[in-house]
Amino acid sequence: MGMIMRKRNKAVDVYGAIKDMVLTGQFKPGHKLSDQDLAADLGVSRTPVRHTLNRLAQEGLLEESRGKGYHVADLDAQQVSDLYALREVLEAHAIRLAVERATRSDLKELAGILATLEKLKDDPSNRGEEIRIGLKIHEVIARASGDAFLHETLVRLLNRMHFFIWMDTLNEDPQAAGLTRREHSDLLEFIRTGNADDAEALVRTHIRSAKQGILKILSARDAFYQFPKAAFSQRSSETIGSRAIRDG
């Protein structure tokens, strides 16, 4: 599998462990995952591994190879850009509806999420949990729109984009992370005060910034995975050239 991993006991969180492997880039895009190898590395049976691979495929982190197993999702820059463009349209519409239709219960839930995030922010080890909880803000806003079809569509899209959202957020510097927290707080305030225009503008800016961030990460990732091959080709050419000179 091209990686070293300690054996874990059977109480291991198989879903969390494999998801972390994918999100932290331990497998390159397109890499085929073996349920047998993963089960051996984690010290568990193949059944929970298979369930996890299926779940991650539903979330968009993996893709199924027509009954031949699963591989790490590999979308190109244009596809990722299209996903973010669609997300911008849907979330902009959702926030405007949420400003009009959000209930006290919705506002209370959003405030509770923000309060939890505030408690987590000072400990870097909580970053993963902070990301998971932060994503709920977008789901609650979609539900608060009162449009069940919009809510369902947006939740599915966010699940499809989990990989990229996590990649972008995990690579945020402290300043960018602080800005994201302020933006979430501002969104709640805009909903409370009925400020649909500023709420929509903030959502669009937030998503466009995230898109630029993930495109940079994807570009760096592609360069990283292409380097060994390119370097090998260059060394091979130089070797062949030197041999030709000696032989000539």
Q: What's the rounded mean pLDDT across residues 79-87?
A: 93
| Number of Cβ within a 10 Å radius of residue 151 | 20
What would the pLDDT profile of 126-166 be if each residue is shown by its tens digit?
A: 777 888 888 899 999 999 999 999 999 999 898 778 777 77
pLDDT at 196: 98
Q: Amino acid identity, residue 227? A: F
What would the pLDDT profile of 6-42 be if each residue is shown by its tens digit?
A: 444 444 689 989 988 887 778 877 889 999 999 999 9
Contact present, 21 and 33 (Cβ < 8 Å): no
Please name the CATH architecture into which domain 14-72 falls: Orthogonal Bundle (1.10)
pLDDT at 232: 40
Identify the residue with better confidence: 42 or 167: 42
Distance CA 162, CA 58 (A): 11
| Average pLDDT over the chain, rounded to an integer | 82
Contact present, 218 and 80 (Cβ < 8 Å): yes
The answer on pLDDT for 226 being more than 70 is no
CATH of the structural domain 77-221, one choice from 1.20.120.530, 3.90.25.10, 3.30.70.260, 3.40.50.620: 1.20.120.530
* Farthest-apart Cα atoms in the chain, separation: 84
Q: Cβ neighbours of residue 33 under 8 Å, at least 6 residues apart?
A: 18, 27, 53, 62, 69, 70, 71, 72
Q: What's the rounded mean pLDDT across residues 201-225?
A: 85
Contact present, 213 and 75 (Cβ < 8 Å): no
> 36: closest CA among 56, 50, 23, 25?
50
pLDDT at 178: 84
Between the CA atoms of 175, 178, 183 and 184, what dihedral angle is there, to the nearest 10 degrees?
150
Q: What's the rounded mean pLDDT across residues 115-124?
A: 88
| Number of Cβ within a 10 Å radius of residue 235 | 10
Q: Where are the domains of the chain?
A: 14-72, 77-221
Q: What's the rounded mean pLDDT across residues 174-200?
A: 92
pTM higher than 0.75: no
